[in-house]
Amino acid sequence: MAAASSQGNRILRGIPVSPGVCRGKTFVWRPADAEVPRWELREEEIPAEIERLERALVDTRRQLLDVQRQVREVMGAEQADIFDAHLLVLEDRVLVDEVVRWITRERVNAEYAFHRVAQKYMAALASVEDEYLRERVADMRDVTNRVLNHLLGRAHGIDLSHLRDAVILVAHDLTPSDTIQMDKRKVLGLVTEVGSPTSHAAILARSLGLPALVGVSHALQEVISGQYALLDGFNGTLILNPSDQVLFEYGQLVRRQITLEEKLREVVAQPAVTLDGHRIPVLANIEQADDVEAVQACGAEGVGLFRTEYLYINRDHPPSEEEQYEAYRRVAAALCPQPVIVRTLDLGGDKFLSHLVSQQEMNPFLGWRAIRLCLQQPEMFSVQLRAILRASAEGNVKVMYPMISGVDELCQADVLLEACKQQLRARGQPFNEHLETGAMIEIPSAVLVADVLARRSKFFSIGTNDLIQYALAVDRMNERIAHLYEPTHPAILRLIRMTTDAAERAGLRVGVCGEMAGEPVLVPLLLGLGVHELSAAPPLVPQVKYLIRRIKLSEARELAAWALQQESAAEILRRCRALAHEAAPLLFQSRRVDL
Ligand code: PEP
Ligand code: MG
């Protein structure tokens, strides 16, 4: 979005994706391979620098062999062979000799020399006709990053450990692998140049309760690390060097927010019951076992979505059955008897596993993702299913399959689940024989065959983040078309209604665990369309409960019946807003500041 200036403040605009206001110093983060330091060497330092390079190559080779061995054990020889190409890059003497020549002739450090030579190779490979060679660019990039990590002694992802105070983090994009190890206590708010309300940065910000903006174009050019700024996650602005007047205006807004938070604290211990007496379970979405404390603190009634892929990313081998069992067990035991819906691995799309998804795909969201990937990796999938089954002995665990497009995938997953049960019986390990399995409804084809899926599921959970992207053909990560990503599009309402109708005929309950469920404005519409329960990021749970306690289910049904007759997404959104604002004005009063 364009930058503008007012009252001497520099204002950058973006898409507000997580509410709240924060102020502090900025920290601009650029991906690892964009920042390779260069320094000059003295003549006598050159031999030691070449030795340092050789050592990094040996360490990288050892690391790759280790990964290859682990992948062979878990996923078989074919997947492990992928690493032969990586190892060949390291053994390429022509490349290594050229790096050594750079160090010697240019008298530059090893990381800079390696980076320059690798860039040249990648550019050459990318331009050849031969498809096989072109695909080697990804291998080369992976190996280059590993070698540079060894040379620079840096871990994958964003390292904020050197910062004394928390910062407003500004980045081009924030992927799960960038942020998984990041010290979240050092972050006041997030700003990215790309993304949309359902991109990882937005979901992360909401789950941490941090204000955030996405789609702030040229943020990396405009913002300088260390600059003082104010981030308004309600109205979508990042104000650089805010004036005293602006700080005063926002001081008022922050005070209104504090009043609201006090009110919201009251609903934590109260159930979400509508004014006409319907109880709506509100659950929480989590990404790791540690989030269980946030679930308890926000007053959620269990976990409606445990995104398990975060256990898998940024590591050299998949987590073992024991490690996964421990994570799922911890959550299940802490919340028992409340339900914990564990979603099986949803890698692919924007969530990559460094050693597994090594090929660049043209359309990752339409590609080797989620249940498709798991069914082709049965050994790895079974490790997870056994861990979930074992955790089911310790709490109210349910399992949910992501990206189901038709009944065959559901059947194949169930066959594997049954085999895992047999293995556990043979081992004498306990599990819940009646473990419930559910399907995520997030692909339009799943909606169309929901009646068939309902015969083989115990529950449905609608993943609106993906359902909207696939139904409207709008990439959920792309800020340029974010305006087309419309949750109130008539087609989306019909898809949700078709799902709840099919579920009702089969006697199934339907939840929503996409981001729509955490937006108070849209909650009455979802309930009116026949959704039984909602699952949202923990910081959003109190406002969802607060809103539910101030509406009648009958008026939500009237709203939905009216909306299903409408043609315009904007018109539907307007009426949803009007209803929510009238029912719970306090939730919205404190959001606006005009600059
Ligand atoms: C969804 O698609 O709505 C969902 C909850 O899953 P994710 O955002 O992890 O794809
Ligand atoms: Mg999804």
Whether 378 shows a pLDDT value over 90: the answer reads yes
SS3 386: helix
Q: Is 200 a catalytic residue?
A: yes
189, β-bridge pairs: 168
At 478-494, the pLDDT tens digits run: 888 989 999 999 999 99
In DSSP notation, 518-541 reads G-TTTHHHHHHTT--EEEE-GGGH
At 302-360, the pLDDT tens digits run: 999 999 998 988 676 789 999 999 999 999 999 999 999 999 999 877 666 554 555 56
Structural domain contains residue 255: no
User: Which of 444, 462, 312 lies closest to 366, judged by CA?
Assistant: 444
One domain for residues 176 and 282: no
Q: Where are the beta strands (DSSP E) in 353-502?
A: 396-401, 436-441, 459-462
Number of other residues whose CB lies within 10 A of the CB of residue 203: 25
Which of left, alpha, beta for 483 (phi over 0: left; psi -120 to 50: alpha)?
alpha
Look at the chain and report how many structural domains it folds into: 3
Whether 261 shows a pLDDT value over 60: the answer reads yes
| This prediction's pTM | 0.78
One domain for residues 67 and 11: no
One-letter amino acid of 80: A
Whether 591 shows a pLDDT value over 80: the answer reads no
Mean pLDDT of 150-162: 71
* Cα–Cα distance for residue pair 351/465, rounded to 1 Å: 14
One domain for residues 235 and 275: no
At 120-152, the pLDDT tens digits run: 988 888 888 777 777 677 778 778 888 888 887
SS3 28: strand
Structural domain contains residue 497: yes
Q: How far is CA 186 from CA 204, 227, 374, in A?
A: 14, 16, 35
Question: 5: pLDDT confidence band, cut at 50, 70 and 90?
Answer: very low
Asked whether 189 and 20 are in contact (CB, 8 A), the reply is yes
Strands lying side by side in the sheet with 187-192: 3-6, 9-13, 237-240, 228-232, 21-29, 167-171, 187-192, 212-214, 15-18
Q: Which of 86, 115, 150, 200 is catalytic?
A: 200
Q: Which of 489, 513, 532, 576 is catalytic?
A: 513
Structural domain contains residue 538: yes
Mean pLDDT of 73-93: 77
State the pLDDT at residue 1. 43
Residue whose CA lies nearest to ligand 1 atom number 9: 307
Give the domain range for residue 118. Answer: 43-152
Structural domain contains residue 36: no
One domain for residues 265 and 380: yes
State the pLDDT at residue 595. 56
Ligand 1 pocket member 461 (CB < 6 A): no
One domain for residues 13 and 96: no
Q: Prior bond to 197 cis, omega within 30?
A: no
Mean pLDDT of 71-87: 72
Mean pLDDT of 173-201: 85
Look up the CATH number of the domain holding residue 117.
1.10.274.10
Whether 198 shows a pLDDT value over 90: the answer reads no
Residue whose CA lies nearest to ligand 1 atom number 1: 463
* Cα–Cα distance for residue pair 20/225, rounded to 1 Å: 22
Ligand 1 pocket member 463 (CB < 6 A): yes
Ligand 1 pocket member 442 (CB < 6 A): yes
Element holding 178 (H helix, E strand): helix 176-179
Look up the CATH number of the domain holding residue 208.
3.50.30.10
Whether 180 shows a pLDDT value over 80: the answer reads no
Tokens of 349: 């799309």
Structural domain contains residue 252: no
Which atom of ligand 1 approaches the CA of 469 most closely?
Answer: 2
Structural domain contains residue 328: yes
Q: Where are the beta strands (DSSP E) in 434-552?
A: 436-441, 459-462, 509-512, 533-536
User: In this predicted model, which residue has the larger pLDDT, 224 or 566?
Assistant: 566
User: Which of 159, 224, 156, 160 lies closest to 186, judged by CA?
Assistant: 160
Number of other residues whose CB lies within 10 A of the CB of residue 262: 9
At 385-427, the pLDDT tens digits run: 999 999 999 999 999 999 999 999 999 999 999 999 999 999 9
One domain for residues 188 and 265: no
Structural domain contains residue 250: no
State the pLDDT at residue 388. 98
At 506-533, the pLDDT tens digits run: 999 999 999 999 999 999 999 999 999 9
